[in-house]
Structure 1
Amino acid sequence: MALDYPITDTLAAFDAWLEPTHGAATRRLYRQILGRFVTWLQATHPDSPATVANLSSRDGARYREWLRAQQPTKKPATINTALAALDTWGGWTVVAGLRADNPFTTLGRVRDVDTERAPKALSPTQQDALLKAAGHGRHAARATGIVSLLLHTGLRVAELCALTWGDLVVGERSGQLRVRAGKGGVARTVPLNIEVRRDLWRWAVAQTALADDEAPDARLWWTAAHAQTLMGWIQQESMRPVIGSQKGGPLRPRAVQTVITTVAYHAKITEPLVTPHVLRHTYATQLVTNGAPLTVVATLLGHQRLSTTAIYTKPSSQELARWTDTLALD
């Protein structure tokens, strides 16, 4: 087992290993993080080469504390992303046979007051306003499809962009979608409720001739016949992106964010700042509020650790503020 590779010499192979399960932006970020880590190692240990074999768990812990001490202060999420990159790379060294152990597997994440609160989510009233605004825009069917999918399935934006019609099973009374390669390469199946099935049908109708022989109002109904028609079309267009660009390819995450930002503006939602991930948080928050077990929520979100899902059981900033406001009424 060769254990003396310089860390920088492993980055190309590590990137290739990540490619099937991680997007280009994530891989680029991980390379940058590892490059900064090597620079730190060389500065703090000038007499010790930055090689795979020389790393220890203490290096990870010391780097974490160095990151926490930086000015201006780095957000916990930024530091934790760096730690996750190191942990992922450390796991790869074991898979690649460069080490017998991952030196960063026990590296604890950073927490502060904010991370002890549930992520911000939209209220039911805000969700209704968002969907209503999506339905009145220039590209109403597409915008509604995007908002509905994110709100009712909790997909990550990259998962939405990678979704093809062949990943869907859509019936009159039930449906599901298959996330083929979620974060960390984890596949999962997510049910499709009646709202999102109907919105997907309307989006399909808006861009095809599926129901051109029906009256305008009837085209937008959702019946068993429509479900059968949609599934027949899906079998023929299985590789077609569910949310495609004007050129026919998959929509990029930045374009999805633009759609969400525009719809939120017209819905007059200023707090919280509406992003695709806030819609994912909203989906998770509703599941927990309605009594779903954490194991179910974790499975639907594609979380590999229950500790990640447990954050949704914490009080949100809005809840804390609401209860504090009640004190002024006494």
Structure 2
Amino acid sequence: MSFSTFLNELNRGTARAYREDLLDFSRWFAETNGESLEPHLVTSIDLKEYQSHMILNRGLKPATVNRRMAAIRAWMRWCQEQGLIENLPRWPKRAAQVQHAPKALSKREQERFLRAVEKEGNRRDVALIGLMLFAGLRVGEAARVRVSDVSISDRKGKVSITGKGMKHREVPLGFDARNMVRDWLNHQAQHAQQEWLFPGQNGGHISARAVQHMIKKYAWQARIEPQKITPHVLRHTFATNLLRDGVDLVTVAALLGHSRLDTTARYTLPSYSHMENVVE
């Protein structure tokens, strides 16, 4: 079956996952067709029937089905590169996955989380969380903000961002975000001049990992499951809040730095908990 040679060329983690997936396909193939699995014997019908078997007979989730089919495809492509087969069989469409809105905090969870942050009284943490929750910045964008990127007056504020794909955008800072960031800027001004809004070690900026740990700490203090609050969940919450308040998709996409509207449109999907409440 050439499995072992193929797996030896992969890193340990990928090889372990692929081994289980390929062995499952091998067992099914032998039981269904009465012959041992060999790459030149696999047809498009086999692939379609195996996919259907996983979905209909075994009730596997679409993500699991797609992962196993991807493992088979990787093995078959390797076999083609090694000259073991000439052409790949036609591949069935991916199993459709149920789409829900990205995870976001409820209003009550936002209040509990922000209360825990405010109680700590750490101006830096307050400003960091403000940029993600009230301005929608990605964790990497917030960590890399320079002092010179921020402009705040009494009634206006903005932060200049270079995001994914080196795309530049200017994000306006609302009332809450302005106050949170301005308090940290005033505190910094009393100390040595800094290049980065959120300095880290060795003269650089704070790391994304440090921000993630900081958020987990406040999640514990707010008695919210730590896995429920991540930097990206704060960004999702910002987008969800805007859409619930009636802001149009084009504006939300511009604020988030999305180049495709269908990426932003995911936030308009109902969450599973919302659907549960409706049905109840």
Tell me if TM exceeds 0.5: yes
Query: CA contact under 8 A between 2:62 and 2:96: conserved in structure 1?
Result: no
Percent identity between the aligned chains?
36
> Which string of whole-angstrom CA distances, capped at 9 and with x for unpartnered residues, describes residues 244-293 of structure 1?
22544211111110000001110111287100000010001011111111
Residue identity matched to 2:107: P
Q: 1:110 to 1:303 in 2, by over 3 A?
A: farther
Residue 74 of structure 1 and its aligned partner are, at CA, apart by 7.9
- What SS is found at the alignment partner of 1:189? strand
- What SS is found at the alignment partner of 1:262? helix
> Which string of whole-angstrom CA distances, capped at 9 and with x for unpartnered residues, describes residues 169-204 of structure 1?
111101111112x11222211110111111112212
Residue 164 of structure 1 and its aligned partner are, at CA, apart by 0.9
Distance 1:162 1:110 in 2: 38
For the pair 1:167 / 2:149, whether they are aligned, the reply is: yes
Residue correspondences, number: 214
Residue identity matched to 2:272: S
Distance 2:266 2:94 in 1: 14
1:112 alignment partner in structure 2:
97
Alignment map for 1:1-330 (pairs within 5 Å): 75=63, 111-113=96-98, 116-137=99-120, 140-180=122-162, 182-209=163-190, 237=194, 240-270=195-225, 273-325=228-280
> RMSD of the TM alignment (CA)?
3.7
Distance 2:214 2:229 in 1: 11
Residue 122 of structure 1 and its aligned partner are, at CA, apart by 0.8
Distance 2:188 2:202 in 1: 13
Query: CA contact under 8 A between 2:100 and 2:272: conserved in structure 1?
Result: yes
Q: 1:251 to 1:281 in 2, by over 3 A?
A: same
Residue identity matched to 1:201: R
Residue 322 of structure 1 and its aligned partner are, at CA, apart by 1.6
Query: CA contact under 8 A between 1:118 and 1:311: conserved in structure 2?
Result: yes
Residue identity matched to 1:311: R
Q: 1:110 to 1:304 in 2, by over 3 A?
A: farther
Q: 1:143 to 1:110 in 2, by over 3 A?
A: farther
Query: CA contact under 8 A between 1:122 and 1:279: conserved in structure 2?
Result: yes
Distance 1:124 1:200 in 2: 22
Residue 149 of structure 1 and its aligned partner are, at CA, apart by 1.1
Distance 1:284 1:109 in 2: 29
- What SS is found at the alignment partner of 1:136? helix
User: Which structure dedicates a bigger proportion of its chain to helix?
Assistant: 2
Residue 151 of structure 1 and its aligned partner are, at CA, apart by 0.2
Question: How does the TM-score come out when normalised to structure 1?
Answer: 0.56
Q: 1:208 to 1:294 in 2, by over 3 A?
A: same
- What SS is found at the alignment partner of 2:159? strand
- What SS is found at the alignment partner of 2:180? helix
Q: 1:244 to 1:320 in 2, by over 3 A?
A: same
Question: How does the TM-score come out when normalised to structure 2?
Answer: 0.65
Structure of greater Rg: 2
Query: CA contact under 8 A between 2:100 and 2:271: conserved in structure 1?
Result: yes
Query: CA contact under 8 A between 2:62 and 2:95: conserved in structure 1?
Result: no
- After TM superposition, the runs of 4+ consecutive aligned structure 1 residues lying more than 2 A away are 72-76, 108-111, 204-208
Residue 209 of structure 1 and its aligned partner are, at CA, apart by 1.3
Distance 2:236 2:129 in 1: 13
Q: 1:75 to 1:257 in 2, by over 3 A?
A: farther
Query: CA contact under 8 A between 1:131 and 1:148: conserved in structure 2?
Result: no
2:22 alignment partner in structure 1:
none
